[in-house]
Structure 1
Amino acid sequence: MAEKKRVSFLMFLPPLIFLGLAALFFIGVSRDDPNALPSTLIGKPAPVLAVEPLEGVTFGDADLREGGVTLVNFWASWCGPCRDEHPVLETLAEDGVTIYGVNYKDKPANAMRFLDQLGNPYAAIAADPAGRAAIEWGVYGVPETFVVDGKGQVVLRHPGPLTPEVVAKTLRPAIEAASAQ
């Protein structure tokens, strides 16, 4: 009799496992943005920027806490999507948005050649040769852009390249909301 109950239970186990996995899949697919990568920094002070100067004017933590709304953009010369987003950064800079660039795990000569070829949208740039600052900021990969309000609080994190659509739908509203505070 006990053997018969055991067989009956085992017979239902595969369909139960399937239903559980199907439920997890459905929950994952029905999220608002399945590509969204969470950030623990939103609403918190921007992490300390342990960066090195990169030929010319650099910036530091005080710049993120004493000015208006700024963008912090992690980028690299070897990054194809960074090249794709560069015209968008230049447009933002022309529109008066202050952008600080953090050059990620790159050779200084390559970084400067990249900026010489494509233009420099950054108010100041710094180097993160070992990637330590990127780890502190929770960067998954480059490019990645953060909106920081005038008090040094992270308002928005955007992983991936900025596009005109992202700027219109996500970045500009975050900048305007941070400016209004």
Structure 2
Amino acid sequence: MNWLRLVPVIVLFGLAGVLALTLLTRSDSGQTDRLIGERVPDFELDALDGHPGFTPSGLTGQPYLLNVWGSWCPPCEVEHPVLVDLAQAGVPIYGIAWRDSDDNANAFLARMGNPFSGIVLDPFGAAVIELGVTGAPETFVVGADGVIRARWAGPLTDDVVRRAILPAFEDGR
């Protein structure tokens, strides 16, 4: 019967070990770094109506940010002014409008501003799945060679941009 008293302690230590292992294998943003150091998976999606599209294979030669967003996403709205500031500072940003429609995405951009050099629609998540994205927003820093340098899950803030995004962007030149 005394061993029954040890079961909760053993379970607690087991959970603590799993949590520690999980935290040690994740990046600052909480996402695994499986794609860091790999080329951006190539995809072909339709351009958002009225905007230029893009394919990752066509973007080599300069570093850029790849941002997964949606007009339905409150954290994307919070992040958006940071993206606009980055674009105004000359950082090329390409957007994937995830689970969105032309009308809703265009209304969002008309209201919030358009920081994107190119935008594609991913209504069913084909490219987003290849990128391993589980939620929006998520941003990838891609080097001039097409290799992913950094990844950030969640809304970008000025602090995140200064601490994580811009250094990786400069390294990708």
Larger radius of gyration: 1
Cα gap change, 1:178 to 1:34, in 2 (>3 Å): closer
Paired position in structure 1 for 2:19: 28
Partner amino acid, structure 2, of 1:62 = S
Shift, 1:38, TM fit: 0.4
CA distance in 1, matches of 2:161, 2:147: 20
> Which of 95, 105, 108 does residue 99 from structure 2 map onto?
105
Name the CA distance, whole Å, in 2 between partners of 1:74 and 1:121. Answer: 13
Quote the offset at 1:51 in angstroms.
Answer: 1.5
Note closer, same or farther for the CA distance 1:125–1:34 as it changes in structure 2 (3 Å cut).
closer
SS in 2 for 1:72: strand
The aligned counterpart of 1:18 is 9
Q: Partners in 1 of 2:125 and 2:64 — Cα distance? A: 21
Whether the 8 Å CA contact 1:156–1:174 is kept in 2: the answer is yes
TM-score (norm 1): 0.84
Report 1:42-121 matches (<5 A): 42-55=36-49, 56-64=51-59, 66-121=60-115
Report the secondary structure of 1:28's partner residue. Answer: helix
Q: Which residue of 2 aligns with 1:4?
A: none
**Are residues 1:178 and 2:172 paired?**
yes
Residues 100 and 122, structure 1, Cα contact 8 Å, conserved in 2: yes
Q: Unaligned 5+ residue runs, structure 1? A: 1-9
The Cα shift of 1:14 comes to 4.3
Aligned-residue offset at 1:39:
3.0
TM-score norm. by structure 2 comes to 0.88
Q: Describe the shift of the 1:68–1:74 C-alpha distance in structure 2 as closer, same or farther (beyond 3 A).
A: same
User: Paired residues, what number?
Assistant: 169
Runs of 4+ in structure 1 off by over 2 angstroms are 10-14, 19-24, 26-35, 61-64
3-state DSSP of counterpart to 1:161? coil
CA distance in 1, matches of 2:14, 2:168: 34
Aligned-residue sequence identity (percent) comes to 39
Task: Compute the RMSD of aligned alpha carbons.
Answer: 2.1
Please, which runs of 5 or more residues in structure 2 have no aligned partner? none
